[in-house]
């Protein structure tokens, strides 16, 4: 297993080097740049122009700039943004990343949970009305135009029903007197979700050693409920709970939209895998033993159908870091997606390269985790 992990890690490192190199030269080949346009400003004196060229490295050949970039990359220095000068690219990513991670990871978890539960149920009732209806609805949402669904949700829940706030990610009136900034609250929300997931994972591990279904349910649901209650109590006593609640309220519409758009993918993967597994001999044997359908479905069929779904889930987490440009734009969510758009529109090459590199690192790490998890679940992969 260690040999396999070492081999895959080395491959990921090589891929990362190739990826960073390709990204840099692709950006270098783009026509024009914010810096060169700024330098050509006729109001600037020749001395200032020369100073700006030296500061941005425009006075050096492209290959020398590449070597400097790789040197700085190894120190995780992604340069200075043109658009937000003199802010570092890493500082901008640190500011925007928690917003995107919290929103899109939550949406990914919800959509995969919905897809998993629907997929295993409709596969067990193949050909019946529930199967046809769920598949049809899932495909409709899977293929719908994203801005159209976002606008409809905003119109229905924010304008007509007035149940949820309209766009933005915080209420400016509420946050005027806030003792902390929104980034701090986002980070705390992200950490809270992380600890709840860890508690749930620990409960699932403990439940795997328990014999009765009732004991498993008590362990998992009891741990999840207790974790949520503890988190709510701690947030209530922190003095910033109202600000966390405001962010969560603004997240509901984007999460609802993303879930409707993406749950069909995991549902159909789960359904197709289950349909293959239910034809296996051990499923027939389990039914012949007189086991209840629910036990056969959940314990014998669904568990073995999880492998491709888990792999897709881990890989999809890697892509959450890039956010969704359309989704973040429609809901005015200032995350990584909007930052990509700003960098493109302003030709901010350092920021754009930094975002692409950071996204690439995250995706490659997700692939590595998926490979390791796949090898752990299926020992044949290691050899």
Q: Residue 229: what pLDDT?
A: 94
Query: For residue 62, what are the CA distances in angstroms to 28, 37, 57, 65, 213?
Result: 8, 17, 9, 5, 64
Q: Residue 261: what pLDDT?
A: 85
Q: How far apart are CA 371 and CA 364, in angstroms?
A: 11
For the stretch 283-314, pLDDT in tens is 888 788 887 777 788 777 777 787 788 777 77
Q: Residue 226: what pLDDT?
A: 94
Residue-level pLDDT, tens digit, the chain, 383 residues: 677 778 888 888 899 889 889 888 887 776 665 556 565 666 666 777 677 677 767 777 878 888 888 888 888 888 888 778 778 888 898 888 888 888 888 888 888 888 888 888 888 888 888 888 888 988 888 888 888 888 898 899 988 988 888 767 788 888 888 888 888 888 888 899 889 989 988 898 888 788 777 888 899 899 999 999 999 999 988 888 899 888 888 888 888 888 888 888 888 888 888 888 888 887 888 788 887 777 788 777 777 787 788 777 777 776 666 557 788 888 888 888 888 888 888 878 888 888 888 888 888 888 887 777 777 666 665 55
User: H/E/C letters for each residue in 81-125?
Assistant: CCCCCCCEHHHHHHHHHHHHHHHHHHHHHHHHHHHHHHHHHHHHC
Per domain, the residue ranges of the chain are 100-347
Q: Residue 230: what pLDDT?
A: 93
For the stretch 172-186, pLDDT in tens is 888 888 888 888 888
Q: Residue 322: what pLDDT?
A: 58
DSSP character for 290?
Answer: T
Q: Residue 360: what pLDDT?
A: 85
CB 267 within 8 A of CB 118: yes
Q: How far apart are CA 179 and CA 202, in angstroms?
A: 34
Q: Residue 227: what pLDDT?
A: 93
pTM value is 0.78
Q: Residue 312: what pLDDT?
A: 77
Q: How far apart are CA 138 and CA 261, in angstroms?
A: 8
Q: Residue 143: what pLDDT?
A: 86
């Amino acid at each position: 297993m260690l040999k396999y992990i070492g081999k895959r890690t080395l491959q990921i490192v090589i891929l990362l080097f190739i990826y960073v190199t390709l990204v840099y030269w692709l950006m270098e080949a783009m026509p024009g740049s914010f810096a060169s346009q700024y330098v050509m400003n006729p109001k600037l004196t020749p001395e200032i122009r020369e100073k700006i060229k030296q500061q941005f490295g425009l006075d050096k050949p492209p290959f020398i700039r590449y070597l400097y970039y790789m040197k700085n990359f190894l120190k995780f220095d992604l340069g200075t943004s043109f658009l937000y000068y003199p802010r570092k690219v890493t500082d901008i990513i640190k500011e925007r990343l928690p917003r995107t991670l919290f929103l899109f990871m939550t949406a990914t978890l919800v959509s995969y949970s919905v897809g998993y539960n629907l997929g295993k149920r409709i596969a067990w009732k193949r050909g019946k009305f529930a199967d046809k209806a769920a598949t049809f609805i899932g495909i409709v949402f899977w293929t719908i135009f994203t801005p159209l669904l976002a606008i409809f949700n905003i119109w229905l829940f924010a304008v007509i029903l007035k149940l949820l706030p309209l766009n933005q990610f915080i209420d400016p009136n509420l946050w005027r007197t806030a003792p902390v900034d929104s980034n701090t609250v986002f980070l705390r929300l992200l950490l809270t979700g992380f600890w709840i997931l860890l508690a749930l994972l620990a409960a699932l591990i403990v439940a795997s050693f328990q014999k009765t279904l009732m004991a498993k349910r008590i362990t998992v649901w009891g741990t999840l409920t207790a974790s949520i209650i503890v988190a709510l109590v701690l947030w209530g006593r922190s003095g910033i709970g109202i600000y966390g609640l405001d962010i969560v309220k603004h997240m509901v519409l984007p999460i609802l939209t993303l879930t409707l758009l993406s749950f069909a993918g995991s549902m159909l993967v789960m359904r197709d895998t289950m349909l293959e597994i239910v034809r296996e001999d051990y499923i027939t044997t389990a039914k012949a033993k007189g086991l209840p359908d629910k036990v056969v479905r959940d314990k014998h069929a669904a568990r073995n159908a999880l492998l491709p779904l888990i792999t897709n889930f881990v890989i999809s987490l890697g892509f959450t870091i890039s956010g969704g440009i359309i989704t973040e734009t429609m809901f005015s969510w200032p995350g990584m997606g909007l930052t990509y758009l700003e960098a493109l529109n302003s030709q901010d090459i350092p920021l754009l390269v930094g975002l692409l590199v950071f996204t690439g690192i995250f995706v490659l790490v997700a692939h590595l985790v998926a490979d390791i998890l796949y090898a752990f679940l299926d020992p044949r992969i290691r050899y």
